[in-house]
Structure 1
Amino acid sequence: MRTTVGSAALLLATALVPGLGAAQESADTIYSGGPILTIDDATPSAEAVAVLDGKIVAVGSMEEVSALKGEATQMFELGGRAMLPGFVDSHGHVVLGGIQALSANMLAPPDGDVTDVASLQQGLRDWAEKNREAVEAVNLIIGFGYDNAQLAELRHPTRDDLDAVSTEVPILIIHQSGHLGVANSKALEIAGITEASENPPGGVIRRGADGRPNGVLEEYAFFGTLVPLLGQLGPEGFKTFAKAGAEMWASFGYTTGQEGRSSAGNVEALRAVDAAGDLPIDVVAFPDVLEARDFIEANVSQEYDGHVRVGGCKLTIDGSPQGFTALRDRPYYDPVGDYPPGYKGYAAITEEQVADAVDWCFDHDYQILTHANGEGASDMLIAAIAAAEEKYGAPTNRPVLVHGQFLREDQVDSIQKLGIFPSLFPMHTYYWGDWHRDHTVGPVNADNISPTGWVRQRGMMFGSHHDAPVAFPDSMRILSATVTRRTRSGDILGPAQRVSVMDALKALTIWPAWQHFEEDSKGSIEVGKRADFVILSDDPMAVDPETLAEIDVLATIKDGAVVYEAAEGEQKTELRDRTFLGGPEMGHEILHAMYEAMSEG
């Protein structure tokens, strides 16, 4: 029988505090002095919140909550800042998110400085020079986050572009989508990719006019190169990724992270970091159902072991819409590159694999999160879940559609009927909205990407995610994009798909908590729930919606303990620079730690 996380703790807390002022123990901490947004429809705001042993024991007026003040109670003065429940990650990759602490920043403004191939090359050179000793030790240069849609040349860099940086050290740069990458000649050599290499199932090795691989690798061709290169970093390297990723999530207000499309090794890395006391937040992992069924069966649980649990399965059907590897139901509008007439993208796996994976998860009553971007991929998922529900009955496993960038309105009706929870990616409207309008789906259909408006018109919940490391886990950028749908160029993409600030906040808190079967313990500030909070510089409900992205996360509190606090006066740009190697001395230490681990192992 499926149980909800935290139900026992909720009953215990309710017994302890049957009503305000009824507790016999003093609170550990009382929070007051600023707007408190509870995300609880019954009591949307409060003047004060009391916490005892990491649980919320009172929410209400200052006069009422002060009844729990004792000699040892700490008074947390908000000073006009806003307090909300800690954010719950609807979809991301905590461990791979830590790769940003290892990589040269290849992102375009406002998250980086790469605007053309020349600045990309210079960014790699500068990074390698700053970290020369470590790069020589590890023999690897990684850049993360380039986006051909934002380069002046409107093309992917090639092996020749990267060879201009180095022909001796392997270089791999990762597309911001995480579904493509570019390798220099040395990296291709290590990966064994030659003119004679054939495309792997679900992947493409791009070639020049001479038939020679040009360094650009799609989907499983890319994954097959990335995994061996990262694999040489060993278990200690992945522990470093896990720690750095979780710390980054905390810096953006997340108290629960997700490790999507995980592996046994990634889960073990998270557990090891947690055992060392270095995992600041909860992380729910969803191992790949095509590769890790035995591990899933042995580890899936609705209860945390420390800060880690395996929540179910992850399935990936197609690729990246902005990279033209997502499977559509019609041709791409105006794809940039060498594509045949009528090109619709492609699936990474077969319909039979999709049906088998979904059936297996339903048979075991495991939650399944499925990456489907294009309409064609969503059709495959909808058909598989419909067949599973006909066989097993109405779902109790809360299946999740991840991304659904190009959902048709009839598909939204289908996922509502089938009880599929949509975890959507509204940040695409900011980062790639102009690209989708001009190249992937065209100006008409671009208005309906990430269709949060259609979802809310039907009274459905949804999660709003970042898919980091595809983008920073920037909660306020997510909030802004979900509310305004403003693109980089200033266009508003699909005004009818915008939602209210409160709905957008619920999509960061209580609704993804429900997605993870944790709505009884997280997602809102209510008596009995865990004391997971985020402190913001401004009240999102009180500012001009056009300024939502400018709000800063000042502190993150997990189970009543501060796990992140912004340095005084620190702004988002400084936090961004601290995240990547190049600004941080932390990054240099990370590479050295990996080198030491490799030397020992």
Structure 2
Amino acid sequence: MNDAAPTAEAVAVRGGRILAVGSRAQVEATRGPGTRMVNLEGRTMLPGFVDPHGHVVMVGLQAVGANLLAAPDGEANDIPALIRILREWAQRNEAAVRRYGLIFGFGYDDSQLKERRHPTREELDQVSTEVPVLIIHTSSHLAAANSKALEKVGITAATPDPTGGVFRRRDGSREPNGVMEENAMIAAAGPLLGALDEPAWLSMIRAGSEFYASFGYTTCQEGRAMGPTLANLAKAADRGLLAVDVVAYPDILGAADQLGGALHGRSYRNRLRVGGAKISLDGSPQGKTAWLSRPYHVIPEGLPPDYRGLQTAPTEATIAAFSRCYERGWQIMAHANGDAAIDLMIAAAREATRRHGPGDRRPVLIHGQTLREDQVDQLRELGIFPALFPMHTFYWGDWHRDSVLGPERAENISPTGWLMSRGMMFTSHHDAPVARPDSMRVLSATVTRRSRSGDIIGPRHRVPVATALKAMTIWAAHQHFEEAAKGSIEVGKLADFVILSGNPMTVDPERLADLKVTQTIKEGTSVHRA
């Protein structure tokens, strides 16, 4: 609900919007002869969740590809299991493999594999030597390919590393070992996925929006639209395939032509709009490609002892992108995991403000995993909205502590406590398909910060349940400039609701992840039932 009326007994809906909220007697006064009454029978209804950052199209790709996630979300806990899953997927999807010439999987995680490393091209050759095999890392910032895939896209010992990317090599050789980082992954994955046709795209997009709805999200995000992504989203929207609202952010360096068009603005067309621009300044901490101000705790094999990750967008291009968005009144989201990348975002926002003056533009810091406390006050000064990723404490908290950042820095990943102490709004996301768009896992991690091993990563940054729910509803709506229509159960707002199996305000915080979404309602219509 809202601070003035945090709970209510009943809600009335008409024409997709909320007509009345309050006590049962108050709401029943609006009842007419055709009114349908629904008793929740002890379940709890909340505002529909608003996704602060994710990738609905890639979620669809994840939904149709081989599931390479480790426990508890999958079975790819070692490389032999990963190979078995890919083989089984190829057998089940033989027609698709023939049609698209690709065996595809998503979600492998070297930090969770028993071998604690990426699979090599030779290991993926065990899946097939005749068909390209491409598997995307759980961070979406790295990938691994078999020999046939490398051959198909022309990656050889003579291929140089692109700016902001790396083709990893065999020891003592320039020969690629199959693992690709950042812009190198994009250069290889783009042509391999380019074989997908319109029916495949539309099927993926529909699957992605439905998967979001199954976790109670009534607004989701396409957080980095590239190439044909937006065009296919528009086709899906026009054909009524989107179960929920989608806000898209084209990449300002790679898809700038998709900004400023008919879809760009605050209004939806068939549940789709372009909310602004996206820029990616670095990589992922769990993949050790985030751009840090200090070296990694354990340096990746073969890299120098002062290795601090990768800057993926040039400094001048970043400053120019912010200036362009500020001048046009466009919202800009910046992917910045490492504190060095956050420094660049702050510098770009400061320069754009100097050039074009202050205003309510709500630029968004996406992830902010290693946000320093001295940077928090600069975010507030410049009006930068922090969309953080405390879900990392569950999935990779132990990895951050033991390998990525070390104990001191790991305690402060996604530092929500520093934001709360300053009375700042923030949001909490899943970055699906980096993790599943599991709203209750997001809520649990934001509240408890408990890792897979059971440790608490940064107890000072734990968040009360009520605050964590705001970060998934009304504050997330504010991030998107949609607080007048979404994020709370108030008269006049859209009838976007999620019904849970229990009350997150009264359940043991350690059991939050066990709550289930039983129904998702978009503008008064059920779009998911468990």
**Do they superpose with TM above 0.5?**
yes
Report deviation, 1:352: 0.5
Tell me the CA shift for residue 293 of structure 1. Answer: 2.5
How far apart are the structure 2 equivalents of 1:46 and 1:535? 14
Which residue of 2 is the match for residue 155 of structure 1? 117
1:466 pairs with one of 418, 430, 439: 430
Q: What SS does the aligned partner of 1:556 have?
A: strand
What secondary structure does 1:512 align onto?
Answer: helix
Q: Check conservation: 1:235, 1:265, Cα contact below 8 A.
A: no
| CA deviation after TM superposition for structure 1 residue 271, in Å | 2.1
Partner Cα distance (1:153, 1:266) in 2: 35
Partner of residue 451, structure 2: 487
- Conservation of the 8 A alpha-carbon contact between 2:103 and 2:134: yes
Spell out the pairing of 1:117-156 with structure 2 (5 A cutoff). Answer: 117-156=79-118
Unaligned runs of 5+ in 1: 1-37, 567-601
- What is the aligned counterpart of 2:245 among 278, 282, 286? 282
1:562 to 486, 509, 526: 526
Q: Which residue is 2:363 aligned to?
A: 399
Matching of residue 69 in structure 1 with residue 69 in structure 2: no
| Pairing 1:386–2:346 present | no
Write out aligned runs for 1:408-427 (5 A). 408-427=372-391
2:186 corresponds to: 223
1:143–1:173: 8 Å Cα contact kept in structure 2?
Answer: yes
Residue of structure 2 aligned with 1:110, choices 55, 67, 72: 72
Query: Quick one: distance in 2 between partners of 1:336 and 1:384?
Result: 30
Q: Which has the higher helix share?
A: 1
2:69 aligned partner, one-letter code: L
From 463, 476, 482, the equivalent of 1:499 is: 463
For residues 227 and 425 of structure 2, the distance between their equivalents in structure 1, rounded to whole angstroms, comes to 31
3-state SS of paired residue (1:150): coil
From 261, 276, 281, give the equivalent of 2:224: 261
Code of the residue aligned with 1:351 in structure 2: it is: T
Q: SS in structure 2 opposite 1:95? A: helix
Confirm whether residue 205 of structure 1 aligns to residue 160 of structure 2: no
Task: Select 1:346's aligned residue among 307, 310, 324.
Answer: 310
Q: Which residue of 2 aligns with 1:32?
A: none
- Deviating beyond 3 angstroms after TM superposition, the runs of 4 or more aligned structure 1 residues are none
Partner residue in 2 for 1:15: none
Q: How far apart, in 1, do the equivalents of 2:303 and 2:420 lie? A: 36
Structure 2 counterpart of 1:548: 512
The one of 188, 191, 196 equivalent to 2:153 is 191
Q: What's 2:501 paired with?
A: 537
Q: Report the AA paired with residue 81 of structure 1.
A: R
Query: What is the Cα deviation at residue 335 of structure 1?
Result: 3.0
Offset, 1:556: 0.3
Q: What amino acid maps onto 1:197 in structure 2?
A: T
Say how many residue pairs are matched. 528
Which amino acid counterpart does residue 83 of structure 1 have in structure 2?
M
Partner in structure 2 of residue 478 of structure 1: 442
CA contact (8 A) 2:502 2:515 kept: yes
- What do residues 392-428 of structure 1 show as CA deviations (whole Å, max 9, x unaligned)? 1223211000000001100111101111000001110
Letter in 1 for 2:219: T
Q: How do 1:313-328 residues align onto structure 2 when only pairs under 5 Å count? A: 313-328=277-292
Which residue of 188, 200, 203 maps to 1:237? 200
CA distance in 1, matches of 2:363, 2:199: 33
1:298 CA drift (Å): 1.8
Letter in 1 for 2:280: T
Cα distance in structure 2, aligned partners of 1:130 and 1:335? 39
- 1: distance between equivalents of 2:303 and 2:170? 13
Alpha-carbon separation, structure 1, partners of 2:199 and 2:254: 22
Deviations 1:458-515 (A, max 9, x none): 1000111111111100000000000000000100000000010001000000001000
Secondary structure, in 3 states, of the residue corresponding to 1:327? coil
Tell me, in whole angstroms, the C-alpha distance in 2 between the residues paired with 1:259 and 1:64.
39
2:268 matches 1:304: yes
User: Cα distance, 1:286 vs. partner?
Assistant: 0.6
- How do 1:577-596 residues align onto structure 2 when only pairs under 5 Å count? none
Q: Alignment partner for residue 405 of structure 2, among 441, 451, 454?
A: 441
In 1: Cα distance, 2:187 partner to 2:174 partner:
20
Between the aligned partners of 1:129 and 1:236, the Cα distance in structure 2 is 21
* Aligned ranges 1:53-64 → 2 under 5 Å: 53-64=15-26
**Deviation string, structure 1 residues 35-69 (Cα, Å, up to 9, x no partner):** xxx2x111000000000100101000001100111
Superposition map of 1:3-42 within 5 A: 38=1, 40-42=2-4
Q: What do you get for the CA RMSD once the two structures are aligned?
A: 1.0
- The offset of 1:236, in angstroms, is 2.8
Q: How far is the alpha carbon of 1:239 from its aligned partner?
A: 1.7
CA distance in 2, matches of 1:173, 1:338: 22
- Matching residue's letter, 2:150: L
**How many Å apart are 1:192 and its aligned residue?**
0.6
1:273 paired with 2:233, answer: no
Which deviations, in whole Å up to 9, do the C-alpha atoms of 1:511-536 show, x marking residues without a partner? 01000010000000000100000000
2:40 is aligned with 1:82 = no
Q: CA deviation at 1:264?
A: 6.0
What per-residue deviation string (whole Å, max 9, x for no partner) do you get for residues 162-213 of structure 1?
Answer: 0011111100011000000000000001111001110011100000113210
- Give the Cα–Cα distance (whole angstroms) in 2 for the partners of residues 420 and 312 of structure 1: 14
Any idea what SS the aligned residue of 1:118 has? helix
Amino acid at match of 2:182: E
Please, what TM-score do these two structures have when normalized by structure 2?
Answer: 0.98
- Percent identity reads 56
Bigger CA drift: 125-134 or 90-99? Answer: 125-134
Shift of 1:295: 2.2
- Please state how far the C-alpha of 1:317 moved relative to its aligned partner: 0.5
Out of 314, 317, 320, which is 1:356 matched to? 320
Q: Give the distance between the partners of 1:365 and 1:313, measured in 2 at CA.
A: 11
Say whether the 8 Å CA contact 2:299–2:305 is kept in structure 1: no
Q: Distance in 2 between matches of 1:513 and 1:406?
A: 24
C-alpha distance after superposition, 1:562-582 (max 9, x if no partner): 00011xxxxxxxxxxxxxxxx
Distance of 1:130 and 1:85 partners within structure 2: 39
Question: 1:138 offset after TM fit, Å?
Answer: 2.2
Would the aligned equivalents of 2:158 and 2:174 in 1 still touch at CA under 8 Å? Answer: no
- Amino acid corresponding to residue 446 of structure 1 in structure 2: A
Paired AA for residue 191 in structure 2: P
Structure 2: give runs of 5+ residues left out of the alignment: none
Partner Cα distance (2:225, 2:359) in 1: 23
Provide the secondary structure at the position in 2 that maps to 1:74: coil
The amino acid across from 1:244 in the alignment is: A
Q: Tell whether the 8 Å contact from 1:336 to 1:439 is kept in structure 2 after alignment.
A: no
**2:291 touches 2:310 (CA, 8 Å); kept in 1?**
yes
Alpha-carbon distance between aligned partners in 1 of 2:69 and 2:477, rounded to the nearest angstrom: 30
Shift of 1:294: 3.0
TM-score by length of 1: 0.87
Alignment match of 2:254 (pick from 291, 294, 306): 291
Deviation track 1:271-291 (CA, whole Å, cap 9, x = no partner) reads: 222222221111011101112
Shift of 1:133: 3.0
